Amino acid sequence: MDFIKKILFLAVVVVIMFGAYQFYMKKQASKAESSQAGAPQAMPAQFAEPVIRDVVLQDEYTGRIESIESVEIRARVKGFLQKIDFKDGAFVEKGDLLFEIEPELYQADRDRAVAELKSAQADLQRAQQDYERVLKAVKGDAVSKQDVSKSLAEREMAESKVIGAKAALAQADLNLSYTKIYSPVDGKISRRFVDVGNLVGATDMTLLARVVALDPIYVYFNVSEGDLLDYYEATSDIVSRQPGSVKFTVSLSGETKKSSEGVLDYMDNTVDAATGTIQIRGILPNPEKTILPGMFARINVPAGEKKNAVLIQEKAIGTDLSGKFVLVIGEGNIVEQRSIVISELVDGLRVVESGLAAGEKYIVTGTQFIQPGMPVMPVPEGQMPPMGGPETGPVPEDQMDDSEEHDEESEGQKQ
């Protein structure tokens, strides 16, 4: 009996130990599953590498467009406006007839001046003949020297009347010419400011319209004296010494691309002491006449060349209280936040002065969902991440056959 009791006791101990072992293993498996469920999953992150190339640096300024020629058309004689020979806002050429003011009064003044000139010329001719007769008579002592002096004076008076009559005729011709007003330049004319039938030029030279030349056209902007000195140091093409040697580009308000290219043709001779800037002017071709005076413009002027510049995409750059930064994929595919110093935009890419080197991988998309310290699965920009995800992934080709054979064996066992 004692032997049987010992056997039963040992059997109970074995059952208890096996149950405890099973409970321990289930608990460990549950912890492992919980640990795996709470572990962070690496999300796909599209990246790019900096572009390394030589770039031409640009200084950007703001300025205004102005016409190369701007003319106010005014009435220079008094009269009623009889005719307008253009359409509001039309393009006109130099010499085109624009306005006509009643010419009758000024035609009459001219006719009167012509008559007075002919009368003065007749008087001069008679005085000249009298003077010549007196000169012959004085040789035979038929007249006195006093008569010679008197005849000479009358001839000179007649000459002066002829000169005055010619001047009056010239003035009359000029006034008559003012009754027809022609465009002095090629350009675009404004609307008419006075209608037909109105009296113009009564109290002052009435403004009738404006004409502005549009091709080429000027752009004016101001440059700080510091930029000017840097420019002198960086290039030998000085505007004041070689006008037309420095090219620049212009973008109008709302444009993302450079719309026109011109040359700098003028720099002022003094720096404004109040602002510390100097005015510079450029001239632009405007064959389509789409650039108009008064427009706001962004001017880009070459400021030297940077060798092996580091360029990245603008969309990858973030901003916080410390400044500009990018998210970089570091060791172990862990995300790092990298502070950078940037400068101008070149062909859609931003120049990085410091903080990023060639060959580093910076994240270009999904940056709003990625935080520093997160693990990521790097994916080159433009490619799709693997369908299986970072943990499972697609089945390799060398394991595909083994898996298929295993499936076939399983199906055979089921049958």
Q: What is the CATH number of the domain that holds 149?
A: 1.10.287.470
Model pLDDT for residues 11-47, shown as the tens digit of each residue: 766 667 766 666 666 666 565 555 444 545 678 888 8
Which of 190, 212, 234 is at the close of a domain?
212
Q: What is the pLDDT of residue 129?
A: 85
Mean pLDDT of 308-330: 90
Same structural domain, 269 and 142: no
Mean pLDDT of 294-311: 84
Same structural domain, 313 and 294: no
Task: Give the whole-angstrom CA distance, residue 225 versus residue 239.
Answer: 14
With respect to residue 35, please indicate whether it lies within any of the assigned structural domains: no
Number of folded domains in the chain? 4
Task: Give the whole-angstrom CA distance, residue 47 versus residue 335.
Answer: 11
Same structural domain, 96 and 190: yes
Query: Bridge partners of 345?
Result: 350
pLDDT: is 373 or 9 the higher one?
Answer: 373
With respect to residue 109, please indicate whether it lies within any of the assigned structural domains: yes
Q: What is the pLDDT of residue 142?
A: 67
How high does pLDDT run on average in the chain? 81
With respect to residue 160, please indicate whether it lies within any of the assigned structural domains: yes
pLDDT: is 150 or 166 the higher one?
Answer: 166
Same structural domain, 119 and 231: no
Whether residue 145 is predicted with pLDDT greater than 80 in this model: the reply is no
pLDDT: is 49 or 58 the higher one?
Answer: 49
Task: Give the whole-angstrom CA distance, residue 65 versus residue 266.
Answer: 15
Same structural domain, 78 and 202: yes
Q: What is the pLDDT of residue 255?
A: 65
Model pLDDT for residues 157-201, shown as the tens digit of each residue: 988 999 999 999 999 999 999 999 999 999 999 999 999 999 998
Question: In the structure, what pLDDT confidence band is assigned to residue 66 with cuts at 50, 70 and 90?
Answer: very high
With respect to residue 393, please indicate whether it lies within any of the assigned structural domains: no
pLDDT: is 209 or 345 the higher one?
Answer: 209
Q: What is the pLDDT of residue 414?
A: 41
Model pLDDT for residues 392-415, shown as the tens digit of each residue: 344 444 444 444 444 444 444 444
Q: What is the pLDDT of residue 258?
A: 60
Whether residue 232 is predicted with pLDDT greater than 60 in this model: the reply is yes
Same structural domain, 330 and 269: no
Q: What is the pLDDT of residue 234?
A: 62
With respect to residue 302, please indicate whether it lies within any of the assigned structural domains: yes
For 48, the token pair is 């790019």
With respect to residue 338, please indicate whether it lies within any of the assigned structural domains: yes
Q: What is the pTM of this model?
A: 0.61
Same structural domain, 208 and 220: no
The residue type at 194:
V
Model pLDDT for residues 72-83, shown as the tens digit of each residue: 999 999 999 999
Same structural domain, 146 and 253: no
Question: In the structure, what pLDDT confidence band is assigned to residue 202 with cuts at 50, 70 and 90?
Answer: confident
Q: What is the pLDDT of residue 31?
A: 56
Closest CA to 238 of 292, 280, 177, 192: 280
Same structural domain, 207 and 323: no
Q: What is the pLDDT of residue 14?
A: 64
Tell me the CATH number at 95: 2.40.50.100
With respect to residue 412, please indicate whether it lies within any of the assigned structural domains: no
Model pLDDT for residues 324-382, shown as the tens digit of each residue: 999 999 888 999 999 999 887 787 888 898 988 888 999 998 788 888 988 988 888 87
Question: In the structure, what pLDDT confidence band is assigned to residue 266 with cuts at 50, 70 and 90?
Answer: confident
Question: In this prediction, what percent of the chain has a pLDDT beyond 90?
Answer: 34
Which of 240, 271, 306 is at the close of a domain?
306
Model pLDDT for residues 85-129, shown as the tens digit of each residue: 999 999 999 999 999 999 999 999 999 999 999 998 998 888 888
Tell me the CATH number at 292: 2.40.30.170
* Domain range enclosing 153: 103-178
Same structural domain, 271 and 302: yes
Same structural domain, 204 and 188: yes
Which of 161, 188, 212 is at the close of a domain?
212
Whether residue 212 is predicted with pLDDT greater than 90 in this model: the reply is yes
Same structural domain, 164 and 196: no
Q: What is the pLDDT of residue 299?
A: 86
With respect to residue 411, please indicate whether it lies within any of the assigned structural domains: no
Tell me the CATH number at 50: 2.40.420.20
Determine the distance from the C-alpha atom of residue 33 to the mean position of all C-alpha atoms in its chain, rounded to a whole number: 62
CA-CA distances (angstroms) from residue 158 to 113, 197, 351, 415? Answer: 16, 43, 85, 143
